[in-house]
Amino acid sequence: MVKLPRHIAIIMDGNGRWAKKHGKTRLGGHDAGMKAMKGVIKECGRLGIEHLTVYAFSTENWKRSKSEVAGIFGLIVKYMRSELAELMENNVVCDVLGDYTSLPKDAVNALDKLKADTGNNTGLRFHIALNYGSRADMLAAAKRLALAAFEAEGADAAEQKARIEEWTPEDFARGLATGGIPDPDLIIRTSGEQRLSNFLLWEAAYSELVFSDTLWPDFTPEEFHRALDEYARRSRRFGGR
């Protein structure tokens, strides 16, 4: 039997270059990317993958033009509304990593509904990294731990220091947006770029990385299986022999 990852994370890169190559607008590229994402979600569900995380919008993506950002959020609303019935039919659980409350109100409402409606499903857990940046997430987790130590009732400086010395990597991980989610076994990045771009930096410590030259809208289930085959050939030792 082929060894499958428990958790797959994907940096969906190349929508803009795909649009340029095909004479489409950048928004058209993002729309095509949504369709590719749908195909991978279905394939993960079919294979019995437990967790899929996609990098949909980073904290750095706000630097893009206002029209492109607004268009991306509009597509997210459109996709969540049009695909909800199918996600429910396929027993997919959806949640969001990142502070999506600062998005336009219709996007926030659509995401709240998506999370509420799929919350009792028991199949693939689909995590959407939206307005997410790993450095900001790690900083927030550190602040939460520090505040817990400093606000301990009646604790003096020595006690506070002792509490801090007792922190473990597991304590820190629980404070991240991914708290309770297993670290990704496999991270895939499309379009030929070979970097993590502030995505799951803590969680990726022992992830297998697969880089594909394929632009994201062209990333078919067949391309996905090639990445899975590459993962299956790897020997994961987690620092051991």
pLDDT digits (tens, 9 = 90+) for 11-58: 999 999 999 999 999 999 999 999 999 999 999 999 999 999 999 999
pLDDT at 6 over 70: yes
Q: Is 61 a catalytic residue?
A: yes
Cβ partners under 8 Å of residue 50, min gap 6: 6, 7, 124, 125, 182
Regarding whether 105 and 161 lie in a shared domain, the answer is no
Mean pLDDT within 124-133: 97
One-character DSSP codes across 17-73: HHHHHTT--HHHHHHHHHHHHHHHHHHHHHHT-SEEEEEEEEGGGGGS-HHHHHHHH
Regarding whether 160 and 208 lie in a shared domain, the answer is no
Q: Is 183 a catalytic residue?
A: no
Structurally, how many domains does the chain consist of?
A: 2
pTM of the entire structure? 0.93
Q: Which of 61, 99, 121, 198 is an active site residue?
A: 61
DSSP assignment letter at 200? S
The backbone region for 91, taken as left when phi is positive above 0, alpha when psi lies in -120 to 50, beta otherwise, is: left
Confidence (pLDDT) at 166: 82
What are 132-164's pLDDT values in tens digits?
999 999 999 998 888 877 766 566 777 777 777
Regarding whether 201 and 126 lie in a shared domain, the answer is yes
Here the CATH number for the domain that contains residue 48 is 3.40.1180.10
What are 178-216's pLDDT values in tens digits?
999 999 999 999 999 999 999 999 999 999 999 999 999
Closest CA to 103 of 64, 131, 81: 131
Full domain range(s) for residue 172: 134-181
Regarding whether 24 and 102 lie in a shared domain, the answer is yes
Regarding whether 41 and 25 lie in a shared domain, the answer is yes
Q: Which of 13, 137, 183, 185 is an active site residue?
A: 13
CB-neighbour burial class of residue 75 (10 A; exposed 0-12, middle 13-18, buried 19+):
middle
Q: At what angle do helices 66-89 and 26-47 cross, to 10 degrees?
A: 30
Closest CA to 197 of 76, 58, 78, 92: 58
Confidence (pLDDT) at 150: 73
Spatial distance between the Cα atoms of 4 and 67, rounded to a whole number of angstroms: 39
Q: 165 vs 83, which has greater pLDDT?
A: 83
Regarding whether 219 and 155 lie in a shared domain, the answer is no
